[in-house]
Amino acid sequence: MSKRRVADTEVVQGLVVGEIKGRDAIIFEDEISTGGTLVASVKTLAAAGVRSLPVGGTHGVLCGPAVKRMVDSPIESVIVTNTVHVPRNKRREKIHSLSVAPLFAEAIRRIHTGESG
């Protein structure tokens, strides 16, 4: 499944390709803002018979109705990084934030010691 953002507030969702009924799907977003496009994609996949729907995102902006949309959706879990602060009141049973600090620390160490990535 693909999506294409054609304007700030307009996204065109592609078709589901292949046999997905009874399979696991993973959705990964660069940014989860209001969650509208994400939840629409999840509902499309759930209707097509996907077994599980974990979601990942780099930047969990989670503004406006995002948290409610995700909690009320068939999403199994949402994991974002702490590149954007996710306040405790937005972390729910389904929504988790992981630290990127170990990745940055390792990159800095390797740069300092001249090691390759």
Structure-token match 């702490």, residue found: 82
Say which residues have a Cβ less than 8 Å from residue 44's Cβ, sequence separation at least 6: 1, 13, 16
Q: Which residues participate in catalysis according to the annotation? A: 3
Burial class (CB in 10 A: 0-12, 13-18, 19+), 2: exposed
Question: What is the maximal distance between C-alpha atoms in the chain?
Answer: 51
How far is CA 45 from each of CA 16, 17, 53, 77, rounded to the nearest angstrom? 7, 10, 8, 15
